[in-house]
A and B are shown apart, each in its own frame.
Chain A
Amino acid sequence: MRLPATARALPALFKIGFAEAVAYRAEFLVWMLSTTMPLIMLALWAAVAREAPVGRFGQKEFVAYFLATFIVRQLTSSWVAWQMNYEVRHGTLALRLLRPIHPMLTFAVENLAAQPMRLVVALPMAGVWLWSVGADEIPRDPTLWIAFGMAILGGWLITYLANFAIGCLAFYLESSIKVMDVWLALYFVFSGYLVPVELFPPALRVIADWLPFRYQIGLPVELITSAHDGGAALVLLGRQWIWVAAMLGGTILLWRRGLERFGAYGG
């Protein structure tokens, strides 16, 4: 990849991606509504914690946790598995392959270009989060904020690469969407999206620690809600970035091998 020329193309790609996100605003709104599960979980867990706290989670902690979960989900989303599956099956991936820029990059920029639209929803929610936890509970340590930024980036990369890798399976299978369904089922259980990972039974927690899902959502949320001190945060961040590296390697391999099987059907 020739970085200078590619880097020069990024603003144009981002602009087009944003223009498309705006053009599909109705679909975008429907998708946003489908991500409100943390708000439902918030209501459920807050009700459970009304009588007595669950672990370290009282009502206030659950509110902070699930509002943060909602925001992190908005910032770490990707839908490239569906795009890839469609484009491989219908052959339209050919149009991307003809351009002198790696499709992995163009899909990434298209996904990231929707972030400003997501911020429109995430920022007010961040305001509610701030109001609910109180200014005193906001982490003051700048390194924690840096770690949070790293965790968000790592979480997005894991989500994007997992999506891309599953999308690549369309080179091998009739359709890779069923694999995505399985991934999503595991993601909802093990990421901390529905239940904070620290409330898992010990055996399940060990599994969650070794799977990638927790590092997609759980880790950034735990960092911003001050669940870890500096040392533990670093260890977890290290694990997250090992997953990023492993998934990058695996995805590139799947892509290269898959491309040899690409049929470029139609037209």
Chain B
Amino acid sequence: MISVADLHKHYQVHRRPPGLKAALRSVLHRSYTTVRAVDGITFEIRPGERVGFLGPNGAGKTTTLKVLSGLLHPTSGEVLVDGHVPRRREHAFLKKIMLVTGQKQQLLWDLPPAETLELNRAIYDVPVAEFRETMAELTELLELGDLITKPTRQLSLGERMKCELAAALIHRPRVLFMDEPTIGLDVSMQAAIRGFIKRYNERQGATILLTSHYMDDVAALCPRVIVIDKGKLSYDGGLEALVRRVRPEKRVVLHLDRPVEAATLAQLGRVVTHDTAEAVLQVTQAAVNATVTKALATLPVRDLTVENAPLEEVMSELFARSRAARESEQEATLT
């Protein structure tokens, strides 16, 4: 469905130091540097997959999504989306895809979302009967109610995002690129949007490539993740496997009836957090059984769970490792 081979996207960026002198000098002489936003990434995505596209700020995630949706022309490399070269922006391609961003909206600000929905129906040439059917489905899934008849500017951020999704999906795209779709939303609205994306994928069989800084989004939606950093691919595979690779240790979470000394806890494993009612221990996979048995036998444990390290920690460790690898590579080049 999506095939990316050795994709590069480089920008020429004008740089100048602050100050009047530098400003005047830049009138006569401009200096540019090349930013390698995407630097040779390769991956394939099968039809109907939900893939998380992760990386720190400036990693090249959004740039890649924009190349895949035909907004940016790649510097080099091959990109195919359902058999189309995105940069050609053929009508058949544009009718199959949609890019939803949490920071840009297509809804007409001073008119009710119903007007944008009707406009999209006309532009995407959706038959009226199919439009009504899709609208009924979207209204149910997104709990739109009468939101679409209120002027867009009077809607809350969450309500607007729901209507954005409806406007983006009225033509039932087969490929959905989502860039931070839950940014700025409260926890319950995030959960609602996540639930909707999953159901849309299951009902329509749509392929979804999603970027998000909220790891809850990724954990709930994406069995597979692609991680990029500074434009280079650093991981492509299952989410579980990524966690096992980066943080193979397990977390034993103890809910305590009464406070326990840190020194006592330290005998069982590395203490990650500790307060009067709860303690989190980090132990190796092999030591989990022994630790659990000993904790139940020797400590005032009311409840106990065994978990993986939080995804946020896994990701920040992965990014830190990539950064360290890059720095040592640079040092090796300099020496």
Number of interface residues of B (CB under 8 A): 34
B101 nearest in chain A by CB position: A267
Q: How large is the interface on A (under 10, 10 to 19, 20 to 34, 35 or more residues)?
A: 20 to 34
Interface check A23, CB cutoff 8 A? yes
Encode A91-126 as 1/0 by CB contact (under 8 A) with B: 110110111110000000000000000000000000
User: Which B residues touch A95, using CB under 8 A?
Assistant: 104-106
CA distance in complex: A11, B89 (Å): 24
Given A95-B106, A98-B71, A267-B102: A19 and B115 within 8 A (CB)?
Answer: yes
Q: Does B118 contact A (CB under 8 A)?
A: yes
Q: How far is the CB of A13 from chain B (nearest CB, A)?
A: 7
The contact of A11 among B70, B122, B125, by CB within 8 Å, is B122
When chains A and B are docked, how far (Å) is the Cα of A263 from the Cα of B63?
9
The reply to whether B71 and A9 form a contact with Cβ atoms under 8 Å apart is: no
Indicate which residue in A12, A19, A266 contacts B104 across the interface (CB closer than 8 Å). A266
> From residue 12 to 28 of chain A, which have CB atoms closer than 8 A to chain B?
12-13, 16, 19-20, 23-24
Q: A8 on the interface (CB 8 Å rule)?
A: yes
Known contacts A95-B104, A98-B69, A262-B72; 19 additional CB pairs below 8 A are A5-B125, A8-B125, A9-B122, A12-B118, A12-B121, A23-B111, A24-B110, A97-B89, A98-B70, A98-B71, A98-B94, A99-B94, A99-B124, A100-B124, A101-B123, A263-B72, A266-B104, A267-B103, A267-B179
In the bound complex, CA of A97 to CA of B71 (Å): 7
List 8 contacting pairs A-B, 8 Å CB cutoff, sorted by A.
Answer: A9-B123, A12-B119, A97-B71, A97-B89, A98-B70, A98-B99, A263-B11, A267-B102
User: Closest chain A residue to B180 by CB distance?
Assistant: A267
Residue of chain B at shortest CB distance from A16: B119
**B62 contacts chain A at the CB level, 8 A cutoff:** yes
A2 at the interface (CB under 8 A from B): yes
Residue of B nearest to A106 (CB): B123
Measured between beta carbons, the chain B residues less than 8 angstroms from A99 are 94, 120, 123-124
A181 at the interface (CB under 8 A from B): no
Q: Which residues of chain B in 206-231 are interfacial with respect to chain A, using CB atoms and an 8 Å cutoff? A: none
| Interface of chain B residues 106 through 133 with chain A (CB within 8 A) | 106, 108, 110-111, 115, 118-125
Residues of B within 8 A of A97 (CB): 70-71, 89
- Taking CB atoms, residues of chain B closer than 8 Å to A13 are 119, 122-123
* Cβ contacts A229-267/B at 8 Å (1 or 0 each): 000000000000000000000000000000110111011
- In chain A, what residue has the closest Cβ to B67? A264
List residues of chain A with CB within 8 A of the CB of B124: 99-100
Q: How far is the CB of A21 from chain B (nearest CB, A)?
A: 11
Interface residues of A (CB under 8 A from B): 1-2, 5, 8-9, 11-13, 16, 19-20, 23-24, 91-92, 94-95, 97-101, 259-260, 262-264, 266-267
CB contact under 8 A between A16 and B110, given known A98-B94, A100-B95 = no
**Residues of the B chain whose Cβ atoms lie less than 8 Å from the Cβ of A8:** 122, 125
Assess the A264–B119 pair: CB atoms within 8 A: no
Q: 1/0 per position for B81-96, CB-CB distance to A under 8 A? A: 0000000010100110
Q: Complex Cα distance A101/B94, Å?
A: 9
- Check if B73 sits within 8 Å of A259, measured CB to CB: yes
* Bound: A92/B105 CA distance, A: 9
A99 to B170, CA, bound (A): 12
How far is B102's CA from A13's CA once the two chains are assembled, in angstroms?
25
The complex places the Cα of A23 from the Cα of B151 at a distance, in Å, of 11
B98 CB-CB contact with A under 8 Å:
yes
Q: In the assembly, what is the distance between CA of A95 and CA of B179, in Å?
A: 13
Q: Which residues of A contact B66 (CB under 8 A)?
A: 94, 264
Contacts of B119 in A (CB 8 A): 12-13, 16
Q: A99-B123, A259-B73, A264-B71 are in contact. Are A16 and B111 (CB under 8 A)?
A: yes
Minimum Cβ distance to chain A for residue B154 (Å): 13
Beta-carbon contact of A264 and B111 below 8 Å = no
**Which of A2, A12, A19, A98 has the most chain B CB atoms inside 10 A of its CB?**
A98
A100 vs B122: C-alpha distance when bound (angstroms): 11
Q: Which residues of B contact A91 (CB under 8 A)?
A: 104
Residue of B nearest to A19 (CB): B111
Residues of A within 8 A of B97 (CB): 98
Identify B122's interface contact among A2, A12, A19, CB under 8 A: A12
- When chains A and B are docked, how far (Å) is the Cα of A2 from the Cα of B70? 19
Select B125's contact among A9, A16, A264, beta carbons within 8 Å.
Answer: A9
Min CB distance B178 to A, Å, is 12
Which chain B positions have C-beta within 8 A of A259? 73
Which residues on the B side are within 8 Å of A12 (C-beta)? 118-119, 121-123
**Nearest chain B CB to A6's CB is how many angstroms away?**
9
A95 and B123 alpha carbons, distance in the complex (Å): 13
Chain B neighbourhood of A5, CB < 8 A: 91, 125
Scoring B residues 270 to 282 as 1 if CB is less than 8 Å from chain A, else 0, what string do you get? 0000000000000
Docked Cα-Cα span, A92 to B104, in Å, equals 7
A-side contacts of B106, CB under 8 Å: 95, 98
CB-based contact B111/A20 at 8 Å: yes
Closest chain A residue to B106 by CB distance? A95
CB closest chain-A residue, reference B93: A100
Residues of B close to A92: CB separation below 8 A: 104
Separation in Å of the B170 CB from the closest CB of chain A?
11
Chain B residues near A20: list those with CB within 8 A: 108, 110-111
